[in-house]
Amino acid sequence: MSPTAAQVFDAVDVIIAKRDGAALSPEQIAWVVEAYTRGAVAEEQMSSLAMAILLNGMTRAEVFAWTRAMIDTGERLDFTDLARPSVDKHSTGGVGDKITLPLAPLVAACGAAVPQLSGRGLGHTGGTLDKLESIPGWRARVSTERMREILGEVGAVVCAAGDRLAPADRKLYALRDVTGTVESIPLIASSIMSKKIAEGTGGLVLDVKVGSGAFMKTAERARELAETMVALGTDAGLSTVAVLTDMSTPLGLTVGNAIEVAESVEVLTGGGPSDVVELTLTLARHMLQLAKVDVDPAEVLASGRAMDSWRAMITAQGGDPAAALPVARESQVVLAPDSGVLTRLDALAVGVAAWRLGAGRARKEDAVQAGAGIRLHAKPGDTVTAGQPLMTLLTDTPERFERAAQALLGSWDIAEEPAASHPLVLDTVTA
């Protein structure tokens, strides 16, 4: 809802209303978001309003109005005329979370269209675009027209979101990052869902991570975020399902960029770590159910058709799926200090270490090293022997090893007996 000339409010009045715990009207929200996007509401005013939202929360109606207002600052995509039903997936981010890479071509090979708008890594969580850019020639920027062509030809495209998709979100996201308001669930949910609703797919599966390596550290917070996003999708007419998944331990055996691509290819060729395969198939089943495609993704994965889709998807964006991937120039092995069972491997510590090795960035404008990262040789539940390699650190700049090793101090436990195992998929949230 774009505010009309008669629907002009005073920013201070809107701030005071939310500060005092009142629910903002759709008209107030539409005005303040639009006015902030064009610069009529000052940064310090929106900072104050964001803090009031963090402290006092928002009703379901407010969050929907806020999300709709952010969508209305930009364009909407529409894939309803594709020959295939469209469905998308979004992850809240984790360590070793390479699931989009095998998932998009797998779902495409099953008969759905996957227009996946992805992002870059920041901090300890890796970005899908950074991983794919380690493939020689691959390009993240794709025009809307070309995106539609690839979806028609291949069935899957993974690319950067255009600047015209929910521009209010980019401005507000940067503000939240420097004002201590990142943790606001209404603002997190609207940030994610404004882009996903504007993307115009027919269904959406959300992978909401829980644990040390996730943005949401507790199941309670993760569930609240999942329920808020599912409600937003439902209210917007977008079929939405959220899956809560464990991120206390890194996913798979690689954390980085090129090495995660290589592991994803292993999955597509019928191998790969069991947790990566499990989560890929779990999310694929949910996506296909929303798209009303009655195909078993496990059979498609085993048939090799998903690998064919991967090659076509990479080639369509200028990449060479047969090219050698970048390899880090330097490596350092971390050895197990004791013998026993590895009972804990902290995802956050591993993610920070990979970031310090050059696999991630502290600021959006920073470059990443394609070959940097960490290769794990053991996961919780595995028996290890003193002196055995636990992990290998990879980087082009060996002076980074020391700080990476510091991040790993105290990040694992080795005991005589195995600890209780935790499921990878914790729960599912539906409308």
Structure tokens at 382: 């595995």
Catalytic residue among 48, 86, 118, 191: 191
* CB neighbours of residue 421 within 10 Å: 9
Give the distance, in angstroms, between the CA of residue 338 and the centroid of all CA atoms in the same chain.
35
Catalytic: 195?
Answer: yes
Q: Which of these is catalytic: 72, 88, 169, 207?
A: 169
Active site residue 176: yes
Q: Is 191 a catalytic residue?
A: yes
3-state secondary structure of 383: strand
3-state SS, residue 11 = helix
Q: Which residue has the tokens 């920013």?
A: 11
Of the residues 176, 196, 286, 356, which is catalytic? Answer: 176
C-alpha span between 336 and 353 (Å, rounded): 17
354 close to 373: Cβ distance less than 8 angstroms:
yes
Give yes or no: 303 in active site: no
Q: Which of 248, 269, 397, 255 is nearest to 329 (CA)?
A: 397
Catalytic entry in 18, 84, 90, 124: 90
Please give the order of strands across the beta sheet that includes 254-256: 254-256, 373-376, 389-395, 330-335
Sign of CA dihedral 36, 37, 42, 43: positive
Residue of 257, 254, 228, 261 lying closest to 242 (CA atoms): 228
Tokens, residue 285: 């089943």
286 an active-site residue? no
Q: How far apart are CA 4 and CA 17, in angstroms?
A: 21
Altogether, the residues listed in the chain come to a count of 431
Residue 320 has a CB neighbour count (10 Å cut-off) of 13
Selected catalytic residue, list 68, 131, 195, 356:
195
Cβ–Cβ < 8 Å for 430, 252 = no
> What residues are annotated to the active site?
90, 169, 176, 191, 195
